[in-house]
Structure formats: structure tokens, C-alpha cells
């Protein structure tokens, strides 16, 4: 089992001597006592290991209860009250929330276990999959407070670990709506409201496939929390950093085909002020991140990943550059034409909103330039070639030369002239 300790003893030619009493050896009774002390850690490991095994079996029963939606079995793994001030056992409310989540798997793996008498604390990796969407489990690290009552270990508190994040079922009753190509999970929203998200996601999936190709799952999970604060809880970051961001995509950057499906997490406050067109662009943009995730890694600059997602989002809409890039147009009109493509730090959510908007607009026009000048197929090949490099140094330079037959200096110059021409109307 994961993390279990087993006492072992090294036996080398110079490390162990066997002797008889009176000839420099250790008396046999004492030798036996010392050997037992080594094997059981002076009495400190045997009982905790047994307790750990009991806890693991209890967590297996808890996982089965979740999958089988067995409330009685789930409650049997819960402590009646919590011994820790401010911590509450998950109880019937969260289990009821979980019942609405379409699960195909749910399991716990103990990473650490610390016991003191009839109380213990543990860190566990909760792994679960949503049926029809997750090819591999999503992992959430949990901190567990455990108590032993009448010889049985039970959960007194089940919370996100220090570096973990909240889960949607901790925020309220989940409402699940299935679209043709999407699953929308919401809290504090009616099914009718969530169907609107599903309709937009269902349109986004084929739009992304038309631009990127079919080498992705071609389905998305959209999560709609009740407020900005709840969104921040799901992302494990301050709410202030996402105040003007309509949605973000979570997932393992550079994940293989076996990586968990990404989640598009909506900021309901910012999303609500968008018109129908803006809402569609946002979901198509985020769906593009889901599609390109396996080819996005440390080698991919944000101007390319965000610019490409915007390019797909606006592709075929007929919108002029001046409509899509007002901040960059303002800069050009004021004689502040950027000298270089935006750096990653220009995309910081907490930075000045004008600077952030200009970074997105610059990346979009760079990708639009490639599509116009070299063709959409080459744009896709360029994106993949950058990610194939695996590390940042030399990735863009190599892909520019290999796919587009140009250099960073030449491309930057062409991009600056393209920006000027598109935004000055020439």
C-alpha cells in the first residue's frame, strides 16, 4: 500500500557478527530482544501500521458508498461530531451534493498518516472521474481528521489540503445539465440557466474542431460556481485576480492523451455582463485550450496559446481588427506601437486591465498574421512544433524557421507592420 513502512535489516559481510556467550558475542536472549526492537521500531510502528490499514479499508468503504450513492454506508464512515474546533464532518449535505455528480470512479490513496491515541490526521489523494469525460482521474489532495470510536476509525473532517482547492460539491447542491457535446455542472443555478451554457459549449466544440482538427476529446466540462468568490475557491487563488476574467481553463499543461479532461470554470459575475456574441467567443476560446492542451507546455509562450485561442474564438465572425483590438488600436494611435510580442508577465490577471487586454490583442493579431500570410494549416503546424520542443529556449525560433521559414526578428517586423496596417486602416 502507498506509503506503508516496513522494517528491514541489512545483512552484509562486515555488518553482522554471530557469537557465543563468553567469546565476544551477544547473549542470545538479549540478541533476540534487540532484533525484535529493530523489526518493530521499539514498539512504535506496528500499531500505527495496523491503524493505517484500518483507515484505508474505511476509506475504501467510503468510496464505494459514494459510487453506489449509499447514504447509510457513507454516514457509517463519518464521526458523529468533530473534535476539532471549526472543522465539521462532511455529513449528509455534501453527500447529497455528490449524488448529482455523474461519477465513473472514486478512490482514496493515503499520502501520510499521523496518529495520537484515538485521533489521527492524514493527507489523502482523492481521485475521481466523471463518466464519459475523464479518461484518467482528476486528483484532489485532501486533509482528513480521523477519530476512533468503539474500535472503528471514522472521518471527523474532510477538507482541501493546504495546497489543494475546494471542490464543487463543497459549495452547494450540484445541478448537472448534459448537452450534445458538453456537461455543465453548476451550483446556485437552475437547470434552465445552465442549458444556456451547454448550448454555447455545443457550438464551440465543432468550431474548435474545424480549426484545430479532431485529435482531441471533442467534449467539454463547464463548471459554473455561484459567485466570483466560489470560483476563486475552486482555483485556489484570490478572487481579486479573476475579477475581470470571464472564464479560465484548468488542467495539466502539456498533458498526454491520458491526462484528465480540462474544466472550463466560469466567473459568473464577469460572464453575466457579456452579450451573446461575447459569451460565445469566451466559451470557444476556453474550449480551444481544452483541445490544444496536449500540445501546450513550458515551451509555449502565452502570446501563442492565448492568441491562438482568441483566433479560433473570432474565426469566421467577420469582426474587424479595430473591433477586437481597441486597446492596441489606441496605443497605435498614440504612437505606442509595441516593439515586441508580449511577454508572459504581460498576461498577469492582477495587472492593469489595459495592459492585459493589449497583450491578448497582440497575440491574436500575431496568430491572425500567420493564418493570413502562411495559411491556417501552417498556423496549426507552428503551434504544434513549438510545443514539441518541450522547453522554452529555442522553441519559437526553431518553429519559425522550420514551419514558416522566417526568424524572430523578421516575424516581429512583419507583425508590427501588420498591426499598424490593420489598426490604422491602411
What does the pLDDT look like over 65-77, one tens digit per residue? 999 999 999 999 9
- Beta strand 138-149 with 119-130: parallel, antiparallel or unpaired? antiparallel
Residue 281 lies in domain: 168-296
Picking from 296, 323, 340, the residue at the C-terminal end of a domain is 296
What are the DSSP calls for 74-111, one per residue? HHTTB-SS-SSTT----HHHHHHHHTTS-EEEEEEEEE
Nearest to 108 by CA among 50, 148, 67, 75: 67
- Kindly report the pTM of this predicted structure: 0.83
- pLDDT digits 0-9 by tens, 109-129: 999 999 999 999 999 999 999
Cell, residue 111: 499520502
Cell, residue 251: 488542467
Asked if residue 27 is part of any domain, the answer here is: no
Asked if residue 15 is part of any domain, the answer here is: no
* pLDDT given at position 176: 95
Asked if residue 175 is part of any domain, the answer here is: yes
Helix (H, G, I), strand (E, B) or coil at 224: strand
* pLDDT given at position 352: 67
| Same domain (yes/no): 361, 379 | yes
Cell, residue 293: 492542451
pLDDT tops 50 at residue 19: no
For 146-157, what is the mean pLDDT?
Answer: 93
Q: Tell me the backbone φ, ψ of residue 249, rounded to 5 degrees.
A: -115, 130
pLDDT tops 80 at residue 322: yes
Asked if residue 203 is part of any domain, the answer here is: yes
Task: With cut-offs at 50, 70 and 90, classify the pLDDT of residue 230.
Answer: very high
Per-residue CA distances from 48 to 38, 78, 112, 122 (Å): 16, 20, 12, 12
| Same domain (yes/no): 306, 414 | yes
**Tally of domains within the chain:** 3
Which residues on adjacent β-strands are paired with residue 108? Answer: 126
Between 49 and 316, residue with greater pLDDT: 316
- pLDDT digits 0-9 by tens, 23-59: 334 344 434 333 333 333 334 444 567 999 999 999 9
The span from the CA of 255 to the CA of 261, in Å, is 10
Picking from 236, 263, 296, the residue at the C-terminal end of a domain is 296
* Burial track 41-69 (b if 16+ CB lie within 10 A, e otherwise): eeeebeebbebbeebbebbeebbebbeee
Give me the torsion for CA of 379, 385, 390, 393, rounded to 10°: -80
Q: Which of 189-203, 250-264, 338-352 has the highest mean pLDDT?
A: 189-203
Per-residue CA distances from 414 to 109, 410, 421 (Å): 53, 6, 10
Asked if 161 and 144 count as a contact pair (C-beta separation under 8 A), the reply is no
| Same domain (yes/no): 252, 326 | no
Between 318 and 92, residue with greater pLDDT: 318
| Same domain (yes/no): 292, 345 | no
Percent composition of the chain: helix, strand, coil (DSSP 3-state, to 5): 45, 15, 35
Between 209 and 22, residue with greater pLDDT: 209
* pLDDT given at position 136: 81
CATH number of the domain at 207, please.
3.30.2010.30
| Same domain (yes/no): 270, 310 | no
Amino acid at each position: 500500500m502507498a506509503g506503508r513502512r516496513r522494517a528491514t535489516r541489512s545483512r552484509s559481510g562486515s555488518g553482522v557478527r554471530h557469537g557465543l556467550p563468553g567469546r565476544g558475542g551477544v547473549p542470545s536472549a538479549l540478541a533476540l530482544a534487540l532484533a525484535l526492537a529493530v523489526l518493530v521500531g521499539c514498539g512504535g510502528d506496528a500499531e500505527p501500521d495496523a491503524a493505517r490499514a484500518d483507515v484505508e479499508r474505511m476509506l475504501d468503504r467510503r468510496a464505494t458508498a459514494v459510487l453506489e450513492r449509499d447514504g447509510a454506508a457513507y454516514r457509517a464512515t463519518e464521526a458523529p461530531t468533530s473534535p476539532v474546533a471549526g472543522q465539521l464532518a462532511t455529513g449528509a449535505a455534501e453527500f447529497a451534493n455528490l449524488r448529482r455528480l455523474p461519477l465513473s470512479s472514486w478512490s482514496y490513496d493515503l499520502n501520510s498518516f499521523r496518529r495520537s491515541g484515538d485521533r489521527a490526521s492524514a493527507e489523502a489523494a482523492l481521485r475521481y472521474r466523471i463518466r464519459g469525460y475523464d479518461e484518467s482521474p482528476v486528483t484532489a489532495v485532501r486533509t482528513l481528521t480521523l477519530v476512533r470510536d468503539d474500535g472503528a476509525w471514522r472521518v471527523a473532517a474532510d477538507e482541501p489540503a493546504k495546497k489543494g482547492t475546494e471542490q464543487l460539491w463543497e459549495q452547494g447542491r450540484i445541478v448537472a445539465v448534459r448537452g450534445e457535446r458538453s456537461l455543465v455542472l453548476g451550483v446556485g443555478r437552475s437547470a434552465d440557466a445552465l442549458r444556456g451554457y451547454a448550448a454555447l459549449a455545443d457550438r464551440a466544440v465543432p468550431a474548435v474542431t474545424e480549426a484545430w482538427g479532431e485529435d482531441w476529446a471533442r467534449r467539454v466540462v463547464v463548471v459554473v460556481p455561484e459567485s466570483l468568490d466560489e470560483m476563486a475557491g475552486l482555483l485556489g487563488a484570490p478572487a481579486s485576480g479573476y475579477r475581470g476574467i470571464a472564464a479560465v481553463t484548468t488542467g495539466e499543461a502539456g498533458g498526454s492523451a491520458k491526462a484528465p479532461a480540462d474544466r472550463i470554470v466560469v466567473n459568473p459575475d464577469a460572464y453575466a455582463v457579456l452579450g451573446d456574441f461575447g459569451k460565445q467567443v469566451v466559451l470557444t476560446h476556453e474550449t480551444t485550450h481544452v483541445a490544444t492542451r496536449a500540445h501546450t507546455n513550458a515551451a509555449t509562450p502565452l502570446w501563442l496559446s492565448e492568441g491562438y485561442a482568441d483566433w479560433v474564438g473570432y474565426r469566421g465572425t467577420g469582426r474587424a481588427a479595430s473591433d477586437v483590438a481597441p486597446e492596441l488600436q489606441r496605443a497605435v494611435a498614440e504612437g505606442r506601437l509595441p516593439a515586441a510580442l508580449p511577454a508572459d508577465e504581460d498576461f498577469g490577471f492582477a495587472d492593469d486591465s489595459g495592459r492585459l487586454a493589449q497583450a491578448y490583442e497582440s497575440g491574436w493579431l500575431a496568430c491572425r498574421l500567420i493564418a493570413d500570410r502562411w495559411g491556417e494549416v501552417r498556423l496549426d503546424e507552428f503551434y504544434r512544433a513549438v510545443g514539441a520542443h518541450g522547453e522554452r529556449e529555442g522553441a519559437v525560433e526553431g518553429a519559425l524557421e522550420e514551419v514558416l521559414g522566417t526568424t524572430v526578428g523578421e516575424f516581429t517586423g512583419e507583425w508590427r507592420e501588420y498591426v499598424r496596417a490593420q489598426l490604422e486602416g491602411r
